[in-house]
Amino acid sequence: MKYVDAHIHLSDEEYASCVDEVIAEAKTANVVATVSNSVDLKTSKGNLALVERYPGLVYVALGIHPWNVQMLTDKELEETIKFIREQQGNEGVVAIGEIGLDSKYMPIWDRQMMVFDRMLHLAEELNLPTVVHSRGVTEQIIDMLPSYSVKNVLLHWFSNPISALPRAIDKGYYITEGPTAVYSDGIQDVVRKVPLDKLMTETDGPVRYFRPPFKGAKTTPAFIPTVVKTVAELKGMDGVDVAKQMATNFERFFAVKLN
C-alpha cells in the first residue's frame, strides 16, 4: 500500500537534526508523498530546500500561520508574499498554507484577518489550493471563503463544531485527520461523517501525541499506516481501498502525480 501525509511541518526546528531519519522512516512505512507546510518566511525557504533534497517525496505549502501574525512585521509580510510569487511554476509548491485564523489570538484579530485575506488573494493569483487552520473559528471561515475564488480548500485537523461539517462538505472542501483519529471520539465522529473522497491523512508533525500507540514517540509520517487502518475500521472498509482513495484525493487536491 502507498500512503500520504497531507500535512506536516518538516522545516520545523524540531526536525532540523533528524529530517533524514524522518524521511527514511516515511519511506520504510511506504509513505510516498508529504506536504510540508510553512508558518513564516523562514520555514517557507526551509521547505523549498527540502523539495530539492527529496524530490517527489516532499511537496510544500507556503504561507503565514495565524500564530505568527503577532510577530510579523509589515516588511516580512511583503517579503513573504514576494518570495511566494517568485515560486510560481515550481512544481514542488502545491498550495498556500498553513494559513487561517485562530480564536486564541483575539487581541490581534484584525491583523489575523488582514494576513489571511492577503494569503487568500495570493492563492487566487497563483491558482493554488489553500491549507487552512481554523481553530475555534471554523464556521466564520466557512462563511468567508465563498467570497474568494480559491482553487480548493483543505480544512486541516477539522474538529468542531461538527454542525459545520455538512456545510464544508457541500462546498467541496477537503478534510484532513491524523493520529487523534485513533483515540478521539470527536475526531472519529468526523471521520465517519466525511465522504471518503474528501478525506486525507495527516500527522501535523512535530505536534506530539500523548496517547497510545503514539505516546512518547517523535511524530513522523510513519504514523500514517496506523491512521489509515483506523479510518478503514471506522468506515467499515478494507485498508487497501482506503489507502488508494487517500492517494487519489492527494493527487486530485494538490494536482500532482504520485510515484
Sequence ranges of the domains in the chain: 3-254
**In the prediction, which pLDDT does 10 show?**
98
pLDDT at 155: 97
State the average pLDDT over residues 193-199: 97
Rounded Cα gap, residues 109 and 115, in angstroms: 10
Mean of per-residue pLDDT scores for the chain: 95
pLDDT level of residue 191 (50, 70, 90 thresholds): very high
Q: Tens digit of pLDDT for each residue in 133-160?
A: 999 899 999 999 999 999 899 999 999 8
At residue 40, φ and ψ (nearest 5 deg) are: -165, -170
- List pLDDT tens digits, range 242-252: 999 999 999 99
Confidence band, pLDDT 50/70/90 cuts, at residue 105 = confident
Q: What is the pLDDT of residue 106?
A: 75
Q: What superfamily would CATH give domain 3-254? A: Metal-dependent hydrolases (3.20.20.140)
Q: What is the mean pLDDT of residues 50-68?
A: 96
Q: Compute the average pLDDT of residues 19-37.
A: 97
> What percentage of the chain has pLDDT greater than the value 70?
100
Residue 65, pLDDT > 80, answer yes
What percent of the chain has a predicted confidence (pLDDT) above 90? 92
- Rounded to whole angstroms, the maximal C-alpha distance in the chain is 51
Closest CA to 175 of 147, 187, 183: 187
Q: Is the pLDDT of residue 237 over 80?
A: yes
